[in-house]
Structures are given as structure tokens and as C-alpha cells.
């Protein structure tokens, strides 16, 4: 019974972590322009992240190391520096985008321009990290994230042709806007396979003191949680395809177009639900990314870390998330368009994947860390696939950014 | 046990399990006619910078000397004979509060973090 509760909490948490400004924006854009055709990218990204999250949790439970600890210890400081810098940069951009997402939700709710909300949002997030515990952040905030299920309700109520949805789950070549199509596919994959997600997950497993008895729980949380998250993303895409696309809104280049999505289904409440979903999902993600930034630095350099400690007991750790949050608010406060920043940072995330995923291949096959619980053939094949995919994405993301980006 | 594989970059804790840092460097003593012997581990930014190259090492040492006095121009060392246990972490039989290793974290606590309400 306790395990069952643990699993359901974990699933809720991972849904909260999965769905953020990146997956919402990329799914909405893809649905508006290409209908159901890009559903396969969400499905593929979700399968990849299930494998990576399961491995991150298994590694933490068996070796009592976080992924960051493992990379530094196994590959040495000089090699660790590259993923460290890449993830710090990507996380910073993603955090900025998430703050932008909350700020837009606040603008939708109040009519006051999003720039003005950047620092208040960063301050509120900081206050929760400063005073709150890991349990509060992990469970409380992500529980609120369940509001995003309204997209699933809307998708079902719009009665899509499920056969068409299934066809979209199979990759196909675009009939128009070829460069844009592939750029969106890259962004969707970047939004689904986020390094912060699996790195945060392994830190959480160590914070919650997982051991080998959690391996089954871990597998269930990774599989169910990420699938639920992916389902909601697909629902966003379906709603965008049926509402925006059908009303001739093909090019989502302004966030003010997005709240229209839920209005045909829920009327005025659709607007409220959209603003609330966007705000809460992005706020939860902002908390996790800021925390992950501090985890990464503290674990990389061996400082004391832990969200349950008081800031005065881990000053270095607390200072990292404090600085990160306020610095990440600056671009939004200066008026940088959050939607463009989001799409850009998702493509960059995809390009950074090889640096963070290659270590999995070594760490999860090293008996000194995972003993009997090392990767089987299927898991290794999945990692190799993600690495290969990451390399392709890294090579194509930048040219596509230039030719196909919004 | 292999030094580079099993010791370097491992988490270091003191006898109270306080996290001190990572094993950023190893110090070995060359002896006439006998194999070299590990005498200490090094921690801190100078030791780390030296691993990137001689020049970053010198720059970091100079910066540390300017920021916190000539005594800080060398990496922190913990004698190898203080090792108590090597597991997930390496435990040394020392009390970190009696060393200068976490001086910068204490400075942060006293001058910045501790002054923010709720810390």
C-alpha cells in the first residue's frame, strides 16, 4: 500500500516535471501547422525519456550516486566540465523560458505586460526554495500540475478521428514547409528528452534515500509518469490541430493565440484553464530547473547539498539557485519574447543531448556502480539510439534553426 | 585499488559525514629505490585548475592569493593516513571546522546567505 502511494506520488511528480513551457509550446505549434503529423515525435521522445529516467533512478538507487556525481567520478573532472557547462547553459535558457511561461500566464490573467512579472515570479520561486522542503516542492507543486489534464479532457471532447491520431504516431514526410517540419520535430524531441528531467530525478532519488528495494517503484514511476506526461503533450497537439489549425491559425508565433485553444470546448473557463495550466506547469518546472542547477554545481564540486537543509547549512548550494533564478529573470524582464526563447532553448537542449547521454552507456554498464542491476540489451540499445539521435539532432538543429526556425 | 579510477574525483566527507569536496588531486612521494607512496589528497579550486593545465593553475593560485592572502595560494591537503573508510564517499578522520577548506562557505554564510531573512 505504501509502495502504491509512493508510485502514484511519483507519477504525479513526473507529470509535473514533464509538462512545461517547452512541451506545451512545441506541441501547440506543431499541431497548428502540421495537424496530427508530428505526434510521432512526442511518442519517440517519450519512449527515450522513459528509458533515461529509469536508468537515472536505478543508478541512484543502487550506487547512491546522482548522475552528476557518477559522471565526475567515472570520467574525471576534465571530462565532466563539458556536460557541466552544456547543462548549465541549457538549464539557464530553459529556466528563463519557464519564467517567461509563468509571466505570460500572469499577463493573460491580469493584462499587465509579461516583462513586469519576470522578477515577481523569480522571487516567488526563490521563496519556495528558500523556505520549502524537497517534499513540498516535489509533491505539493506538481500535484497542482494535474490541472493540465484539462487538455486531455478537451482532446477527447473535440472527438478527433482516432484513426488519424494513430496515423500521426508513425513518422512520415511533410508535404509542405519541410525545414520547419524538421525543426519542430527537433524542438519536440528536445522538449521531451530534457537533461534536467533525468538529472533532477536522480538527485531526488538520493534526497529520498532510495535503495535497491525501490527498483520496482522506479520502473513504474518512470514508465507511467513519463507516459502520462507524453499523453498530455499529445492532447495539447490534438487540441491545437483541431482548434487552431481548423480556424486557419497555422503559424503560432504569438503566445496570445494559444489561449484560444481551449475556448471552443470550455468557453470562458477555457481561457482560465489555459492560463492556470500554463502558469502552474511552468512554475513547477522553473522550481525543478533552478533546483537542478544548484544540485549540479554542488554535486560536481562536492559541496553540501539538500533542499531539506536550511540555507545557512548549505550556503554555496542556496546561493547557486538564488543567483540562477534572478539572472534567468533578466532576459524576460528586458522583454525577450518567451515563445521564441522557448523554441530556441528546446532545439539547443536536443543538440546538447550527446554530452549528457553518452555517460549513461558507461555508468549503467559499470559493475562497480550498478553491480547486478546493470543495463540489459534493450536498455543499452535504447541509450545507443538516443545518442545517435542526439548526434543527428546536434548536427541538424543549428542549420534548421536558421532556415526553419520561427 | 586504482588511484585514478577509484580515488580521484570521489566525494570527501569528514568524521561527522560533512561533505567537504571532491578529491581534486593526489600527492605522491617519490622515494629512492622504493615505489612512490600516496601521502595526501588535494582539494579546492587551485587543485582543480591545475588539472586543466599549468596556466589556469597559476592564474587561480594568484587569484586566491589576492582574495584571501598568501597562505591560500596552495591547494588544501588532507594527509592520506587520515583515511578511515572508502565506500560511496571517502571518509577522513578530521573535523572540517578546524581546517580552512570550507572557509569560503562560512564566509558566504556570515556575509551573504545568513543576512537574507529566513536563512
Q: CB under 8 Å to A280, separation ≥6 — which residues?
A: A141, A144, A145, A147, A148
Please tell me if residue A303 touches chain B, with a CB cutoff of 8 Å.
yes
Q: Say if the Cβ atoms of A69 and B11 lie within 8 Å.
A: yes
CA A244/CA A25 separation, integer angstroms: 13
Query: How confident is the prediction for chain B on average, in pLDDT?
Result: 90
Contact A257, A24 (CB under 8 A): no
Q: In the prediction, which pLDDT does A406 show?
A: 47
CA A56/CA A199 separation, integer angstroms: 7
ipTM given for this complex = 0.92
User: Which member of A81, A131, A315 has the closest CB to residue B113?
Assistant: A315
- In chain A, which residues have pLDDT < 50? 406
* Nearest-by-CA chain A residue for B90: A302
Task: Please give the full DSSP string across B61-96, using - where no structure is assigned.
Answer: HHHHHHHH-GGGGS-EEEEGGGEEEESSSEEESS-G
User: Which member of A65, A304, A312 has the closest CB to residue B19?
Assistant: A304
What digits encode the pLDDT tens for the residues B19-40? 999 999 999 999 999 999 999 9
Q: Which residues of B are less than 8 Å from A370 in CB distance?
A: none
Chain A: give the shortest CA distance to residue B3, in Å: 12
CA A104/CA B71 separation, integer angstroms: 51
CA B110/CA A138 separation, integer angstroms: 29
Please identify among residues 41-80 of chain B the ones whose CB lies closer than 8 Å to any CB of chain A. 43, 48, 51-52
Please tell me if residue B109 touches chain A, with a CB cutoff of 8 Å.
yes
Beta bridge partners of B25: B42
Contact A25, A342 (CB under 8 A): yes
Q: Is the pLDDT of residue B65 over 90?
A: no
Q: How many distinct helices (H) and strands (E) make up chain A?
A: 20, 0
Please tell me if residue B20 touches chain A, with a CB cutoff of 8 Å.
yes
Chain A: give the shortest CA distance to residue B32, in Å: 30
Please tell me if residue B30 touches chain A, with a CB cutoff of 8 Å.
no
User: Which member of B11, B21, B51 has the closest CB to residue A78?
Assistant: B51
Q: In the prediction, which pLDDT does B70 show?
A: 74
* Nearest-by-CA chain B residue for A66: B88
Q: Say if the Cβ atoms of A304 and B18 lie within 8 Å.
A: yes
Q: Say if the Cβ atoms of A76 and B4 lie within 8 Å.
A: yes
Q: Is the pLDDT of residue B99 over 80?
A: yes
What digits encode the pLDDT tens for the residues A364-381? 999 999 999 999 999 999
Task: Please give the full DSSP string across A180-225, using - where no structure is assigned.
Answer: HHHHHHHHHHHHHS-HHHHHHHHHHHHHTT--GGGHHHHHHIIIII
Please tell me if residue A301 touches chain B, with a CB cutoff of 8 Å.
yes
CA A202/CA A59 separation, integer angstroms: 8
The CATH number assigned to the domain holding B72 equals 2.30.30.240
**Residue B39 structural domain:** 3-115
Chain A: give the shortest CA distance to residue B115, in Å: 9
Q: Say if the Cβ atoms of A305 and B12 lie within 8 Å.
A: no
Interface test with A, best of B104, B105, B111 (most A CBs within 10 A): B105
What digits encode the pLDDT tens for the residues A305-347? 988 889 999 999 999 999 999 999 999 999 999 988 988 888 8
Q: Say if the Cβ atoms of A318 and B119 lie within 8 Å.
A: yes
Beta bridge partners of B26: B41
Q: Which residues of A are less than 8 Å from B116 in CB distance?
A: 130, 311, 322
Q: Say if the Cβ atoms of B88 and A63 lie within 8 Å.
A: yes
Q: Exposed (0-12), middle (13-18) or buried (19+): which is A372, by Cβ within 10 Å?
A: exposed
The C-alpha angle A322, A326, A331, rounded to 5 degrees, equals 150
Q: Say if the Cβ atoms of B112 and A73 lie within 8 Å.
A: no
Q: Is the pLDDT of residue B11 over 60?
A: yes
CA A17/CA A194 separation, integer angstroms: 10
Domain regions of chain A by residue span? 2-403
Q: Say if the Cβ atoms of B108 and A315 lie within 8 Å.
A: yes
User: Which member of A63, A302, A304 has the closest CB to residue B22?
Assistant: A302
Q: Say if the Cβ atoms of A303 and B105 lie within 8 Å.
A: yes
Nearest to A314 by CA among B100, B38, B102: B102
CA A283/CA A102 separation, integer angstroms: 6
Q: Say if the Cβ atoms of B109 and A63 lie within 8 Å.
A: no
CA B58/CA A74 separation, integer angstroms: 26
Please tell me the total count of domains within chain B.
Answer: 1
Select from 3.40.50.20, 3.40.50.300, 1.20.1740.10, 1.10.800.10 the CATH code of A2-403: 1.20.1740.10
Q: In the prediction, which pLDDT does A404 show?
A: 60
Q: In the prediction, which pLDDT does A98 show?
A: 94
Amino acid at each position: 500500500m505504501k509502495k502504491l502511494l509512493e508510485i502514484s506520488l511519483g507519477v504525479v511528480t513526473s507529470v509535473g516535471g514533464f509538462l512545461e513551457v517547452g512541451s506545451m509550446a512545441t506541441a501547440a505549434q506543431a499541431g497548428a501547422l502540421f495537424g496530427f503529423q508530428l505526434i510521432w515525435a512526442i511518442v519517440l521522445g517519450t519512449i527515450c525519456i522513459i528509458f533515461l529516467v529509469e536508468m537515472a533512478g536505478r543508478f541512484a538507487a543502487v550506487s547512491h550516486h546522482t548522475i552528476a556525481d557518477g559522471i565526475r567520478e567515472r570520467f574525471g573532472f576534465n571530462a565532466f566540465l563539458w556536460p557541466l557547462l552544456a547543462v548549465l547553459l541549457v538549464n539557464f535558457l530553459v529556466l528563463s523560458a519557464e519564467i517567461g511561461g509563468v509571466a505570460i500566464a500572469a499577463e493573460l490573467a491580469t493584462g499587465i505586460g509579461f516583462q513586469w512579472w519576470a522578477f515577481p515570479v523569480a522571487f516567488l520561486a526563490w521563496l519556495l526554495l528558500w523556505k520549502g522542503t524537497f517534499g513540498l516542492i516535489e509533491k505539493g507543486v506538481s500535484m497542482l500540475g494535474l490541472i493540465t489534464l484539462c487538455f486531455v479532457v478537451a482532446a477527447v471532447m473535440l472527438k478527433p478521428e482516432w484513426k488519424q491520431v494513430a496515423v500521426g504516431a508513425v513518422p512520415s514526410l511533410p508535404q509542405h514547409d519541410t525545414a520547419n517540419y524538421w525543426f519542430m520535430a527537433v524542438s519536440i524531441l528536445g522538449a521531451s528528452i530534457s537533461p534536467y528531467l533525468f538529472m533532477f530525478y536522480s538527485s531526488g532519488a538520493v534526497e529520498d534515500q532510495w535503495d535497491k528495494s525501490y527498483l520496482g517503484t522506479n520502473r513504474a514511476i518512470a514508465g507511467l509518469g513519463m507516459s502520462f506526461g507524453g499523453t498530455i503533450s499529445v492532447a495539447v497537439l490534438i487540441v491545437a490541430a483541431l482548434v487552431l489549425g481548423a480556424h486557419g491559425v497555422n503559424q503560432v508565433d504569438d503566445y496570445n493565440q494559444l489561449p484560444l485553444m481551449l475556448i471552443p470546448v470550455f468557453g470562458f473557463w477555457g481561457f482560465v484553464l489555459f492560463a492556470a495550466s500554463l502558469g502552474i506547469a511552468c512554475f513547477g518546472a522553473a522550481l525543478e530547473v533552478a533546483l537542478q542547477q544548484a544540485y549540479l554545481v554542488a554535486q560536481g564540486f562536492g559541496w553540501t547539498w539538500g533542499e531539506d537543509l536550511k540555507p545557512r547549512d548549505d550556503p554555496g548550494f542556496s546561493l547557486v539557485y538564488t543567483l540562477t533564478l534572478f539572472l534567468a529573470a533578466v532576459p524576460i524582464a528586458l522583454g525577450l519574447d518567451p515563445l521564441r526563447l522557448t523554441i530556441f532553448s528546446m532545439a539547443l537542449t536536443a543538440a546538447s543531448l550527446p554530452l549528457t547521454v553518452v555517460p549513461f552507456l558507461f555508468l549503467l554498464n559499470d559493475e562497480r556502480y550498478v553491480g547486478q542491476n546493470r543495463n540489459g540489451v534493450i536498455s543499452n540499445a535504447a541509450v545507443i539510439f538516443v545518442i545517435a539521435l542526439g548526434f543527428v539532432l546536434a548536427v541538424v538543429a543549428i542549420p534548421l534553426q536558421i532556415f526553419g526556425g520561427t | 585499488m586504482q588511484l585514478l579510477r577509484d580515488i580521484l574525483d570521489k566525494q570527501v566527507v569528514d568524521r561527522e559525514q560533512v561533505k567537504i569536496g571532491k578529491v581534486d588531486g593526489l600527492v605522491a612521494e617519490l622515494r629512492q629505490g622504493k615505489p612512490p607512496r600516496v601521502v595526501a589528497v588535494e582539494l579546492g579550486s587551485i587543485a582543480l585548475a591545475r588539472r586543466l593545465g599549468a596556466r589556469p593553475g597559476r592564474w587561480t593560485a594568484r587569484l586566491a592569493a589576492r582574495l584571501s592572502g598568501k597562505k591560500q595560494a596552495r591547494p588544501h591537503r588532507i594527509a592520506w593516513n587520515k583515511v578511515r573508510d572508502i565506500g560511496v564517499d571517502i571518509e577522513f578522520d578530521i573535523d572540517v571546522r578546524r581546517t580552512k577548506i570550507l572557509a569560503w562557505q562560512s564566509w558566504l554564510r556570515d556575509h551573504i546567505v545568513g543576512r537574507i531573512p529566513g536563512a
